[in-house]
Amino acid sequence: MSTRKSAWRNGWIWTGAAGLAAMAFIAPIAKADPAAQLDFVLNTFAFLVWGALIMWMCAGFTMLESGSVRTKNASVICLKNIGLYAIAGITFYLVGYNLMYVDVGNIIGTLGFGYGPSAAEIALLDAVGSEAGEAAIAAAAAAAAENGYSVMSDWFFQMVFVATTASIVSGALAERVRLWSFFLFTAILTAVIYPIVGAWTWGGGWLSQMGFSDFAGSTIVHSTGGWAALAGALVVGPRLGKFRPDGTTKITPPSNVPAVALGVFILWLGWFGFNGGSQLALGGVENAVGMSIVLVNTNLAAGAGVVAALVLSRPLLKRVDLLAVLNGAIAGLVSITAGPDVLPHSVALLIGAVGGGICVIGIKLLEILRIDDVVGAVPAHLLAGIWGTLAVCIAGGYSFGVQLLGVAAVGAFVFSASWLVWMLIEKTIGARVSKTVEELGQDVAELGIEAYPEFVLMPPRD
């Protein structure tokens, strides 16, 4: 992981009780070099806890999407989100991580199957399990600690990022994409497409070598998901009746507004792990200060995105649009994700506000282009991600040309690869549900279960 963003440094100071617990864990294993072993435990702890917080974002996406669709499609949204998380974890374990991080040249890593602890970690566990002498255990622990963190904690932290990318696609194509077609695309996205982008950048590939910077993934994660979602939306097409022959757009109100709002708050919370964890260290004064700045900038940008969307929604969308405002928060978060570590707080406010404005404009633009994006994933993740990746040049000192090249290269690759996969799916097993299924709802037609069985569904009105 040291090749992807920064060299490993000492982590930030853990508070008293946790520090004592860590030392109690370390002491029986070995007494040699306790500082290095403490860093190992704290860094591993950070990866696991921040990763768990990012995993909780899956709940946010589930709430946001299930509340945004009509009640007849809420159950299938729940299944899609738990299914995509499971698929992403398995495919990233089987092939994705190796393609992204193991022996990366300029383009891609190795095509190996499976991933596991390092030889030094296995030797340590064997030494402890065989009740070897204290000296042998100490030597094995010291060898394992040289890596700075547990190997599989790094894998776990990386895996939850790829699951976020897949979640972006789910919301955009809701209410008309076939369940198994979506799962097939998710497998290809998480096993191949996303890892190739990651190899170019965080894996130390050609974009990284040119100086491309994306701290926590405005482009690598969010624009990648946005490009894949856009390609799918173009292939699958809009929902029935969404765009009328006279050029007007049928408003499809969310079925559960509180669920959508709760989902956004969960995502906002998870983003502290998303960006804060990307500091990649848990100790040392410099990292404590750095992580504090990252979290404050993340929060400021989200707030600025909300305010900007609130101000712009009425003149652009002819109403104070709650969904646009909620997406403004997400757009602000996406925008700051590329550089929360290098930007002053005032610039973070600016970047978040512009991101929120871009999101509202993007929502209107998609209506004009007659592209149906149920949750506004393309404006909030793709467009804001592009903006955020370029915006690090404002005060971060990065090359605009290199950042623009990275945005263009990732966009060209992900969109073309995703469009090709979606087209192959469409020509073989079909990407879209039938007209009957769409009218009846995927919950009953594909799952045989309703999310709100006690409610009487009214016929849709034009």
What confidence score (pLDDT) does residue 317 get? 85
Distance (Å, rounded) from C-alpha 344 to C-alpha 23? 36
Residue 7 tokens, joined: 């060299």
Query: Could you please report the per-residue DSSP string of 55-99?
Result: HTHHHHHHHHHHHHS-GGGHHHHHHHHHHHHHHHHHHIIIIIHHH
Q: In this structure, is residue 192 part of a structural domain?
A: yes
Instruction: Band the pLDDT of 20: cuts 50, 70, 90.
Output: very low
Residue 331 tokens, joined: 């757009």
Closest of 303, 311, 312 to residue 331, by C-alpha: 303
pLDDT of 185 > 70? The answer is yes
Residue 314 tokens, joined: 């009425």
Q: In this structure, is residue 169 part of a structural domain?
A: yes
What confidence score (pLDDT) does residue 252 get? 86
Q: What is the pTM of this model?
A: 0.89
Q: In this structure, is residue 334 part of a structural domain?
A: yes
Distance (Å, rounded) from C-alpha 140 to C-alpha 133? 11
Instruction: Band the pLDDT of 456: cuts 50, 70, 90.
Output: low
pLDDT of 269 > 90? The answer is yes
Q: What is the mean pLDDT of residues 378-384?
A: 98
- pLDDT tens-digit series, residues 435-453: 999 999 999 999 988 888 8
Q: In this structure, is residue 456 part of a structural domain?
A: no
CATH number for the domain including 148? 1.10.3430.10
Q: Tell me the pLDDT of the chain averaged across its residues.
A: 89
Q: In this structure, is residue 457 part of a structural domain?
A: no
- pLDDT tens-digit series, residues 45-87: 989 999 999 999 999 999 999 999 999 999 999 999 999 999 9
E strand or H helix at 23: helix 16-26
Q: In this structure, is residue 2 part of a structural domain?
A: no
What confidence score (pLDDT) does residue 457 get? 54
Rg (CA), the chain: 23
Give the total number of structural domains in the chain: 1
Q: In this structure, is residue 11 part of a structural domain?
A: no
Q: What is the mean pLDDT of residues 119-124?
A: 90
- pLDDT tens-digit series, residues 325-375: 999 999 999 999 999 998 999 999 999 999 999 999 999 999 999 999 999
- pLDDT tens-digit series, residues 210-219: 999 999 999 9
Q: Provide the domain limits for residue 407.
A: 33-447
Beta bridge partners of 432: 177
Q: In this structure, is residue 179 part of a structural domain?
A: yes
Query: Could you please report the per-residue DSSP string of 287-344?
Result: HHHHHHHHHHHHHHHHHHHHHHHHHHHHHHHSS--HHHHHHHHHHHHHHHTT-TTTS-
pLDDT of 18 > 80? The answer is no
